[in-house]
Amino acid sequence: MLAEAVSHLEPVMPMLRELGERFTSAGHEIALVGGPVRDAFLARTSPDLDFTTSARPEDTERIVDGWADAVWDLGRAFGTIGVRKGDFQVEITTYRADAYDRETRKPVVEFGDSLDEDLVRRDFTVNAMALRLPDLTFVDPYGGLADMAARSLRTPTSPEVSFGDDPLRMMRAARFSSQLSFDIAPEPFAAMTEMAGSIRMISAERVRDELVKLLMSPAPRRGLTALVDSGICEYVLPEVPALALEIDEHHRHKDVYEHSLTVLEQAMDLEGPRDVPGVEEAEVVEGPDLVLRLAALLHDIGKPDTRRFESGGGVSFHHHELVGAKLARKRLRELRFDKDTIKAVCRLVELHLRFHGYGNGEWTDSAVRRYVTDAGPLLSRLHLLTRADSTTRNKRKAARLQATYDDLEARIERLKAEEELAAVRPELNGNEIAEVLGIKPGPVLGKAYQYLLSVRLDEGVIGKEAAADRLRTWWAEQPESQG
């Protein structure tokens, strides 16, 4: 197993040996540690190379001087020196024996004296394995390799101690479960459940970053389920567990929580190239796409607040897309997502039901234009979200919905070809509108522009002369024209 793992490190082996020889010649230990070692055993390529050493930061700088192409010390306070050698950027960190300030949860840096002492402070046993350099001696004091074979996440020390030191490790357990398709062992999962509320001590930015990594993983359902079942999600994204609406004895609605996880998975399956009948080249959303995945997860979060039982035995969720967009905006702001991401996700949540008015293709060209214009640059994601939102087990109904959306995409494609639909504008620009009406730039000009845009959306291309006539007719009915 070691030989096979080492073979996956072959592209970086010359650099590993050189670095190892420089440190041992200077009387220090150095080892490749953490994710790169774990990934080598999993036959994965790790994007990072992390090293731990007995050398203090100033010793590390002296050892790599003349060998490294560049050195930076922004992490010096934590014992970390950054190094660039050729195409590789690496971090070399002095052995640590961290203690944590139990009030701020920030690490109190204390340098350690041994590799084993450094490894025990790491989050999970599968990340607490190392390869000593330059001889590639495998070091695994806490059973990481056995846990890897069992596809299990355990902590090197007591999970209560580990999660008490840094509660974010509970979210990291969920994230690694999604990234690696590992199970969280019973002991750490019990600690997560018992200590769920301590996640409130972690900054919104750190929580957000872990959530993003989880959602961008190959199997986010695993991690999301762990967060919900442990109770952690109640503190970081409470709208998701709230989707597990109690099903009444008549089963008048689906489990919205399970539906949302399925929509997320189906949206992921649609990322990348796809074929649509009648469309020469369907729009592509390259995966993993954070905006699409967030929108898929959150698209129905307005349902709990809008659920109404009808007299005939049915259940309704009127305007849940509008309520959901507001809830999503509030939550994503609290998690410190950037404005563009928030705007895009909330717009998709708001629009995700629009297609259901299409029926069997009854929309006019005007309605199709408005669909495209309202979606704007999010149209390709809206295509995927809307398709993914069909989770019916009725194969005939599912096929009918797919065919109907195929028809809509084909219509959009035809209109785009005819009218440059993606960039719909009034047939008169602002200067031309001002000239026709004899007005100056200002709110009235903006109002006239919006009127001509609505004409363009409703009627398509009618020509500049006809547009000017329509504009004059409209203007004669406006109070401002009387001034």
More confident residue, 182 or 278: 182
Q: Percentage of residues in the chain with pLDDT exceeding 90?
A: 70
pLDDT digits (tens, 9 = 90+) for 110-132: 888 899 999 999 999 999 999 99
- The one-letter amino acid code at 397 reads K
Instruction: Say if residues 325 and 346 touch (Cβ distance below 8 Å).
Output: yes
pTM of the model: 0.84
CB 189 within 8 A of CB 232: no
Taking 50 as the threshold, does the pLDDT of residue 19 lie above it? yes
Beta-sheet pairing, 152-153 with 183-184: parallel
Q: Check whether 252 has a pLDDT greater than 70.
A: no
| Neighbouring C-alpha atoms within 13 Å toward the C-beta of 337 | 20
Domains of the chain: 2-145 (3.30.460.10), 159-236 (1.10.110.30), 243-423 (no CATH), 430-482 (no CATH)
pLDDT at 457: 80
Q: How confident is the model at residue 248 (pLDDT cuts 50, 70, 90)?
A: very low
Burial 85-95 (b: 16+ CB within 10 A, else e): beebebbbbbb
Q: How far apart are CA 396 and CA 57, in angstroms?
A: 66
Both tokens of residue 42? 């999993």
- With a cut of 90, say whether residue 94 has pLDDT above it: yes
How many CB atoms neighbour CB 417 within 10 A?
10
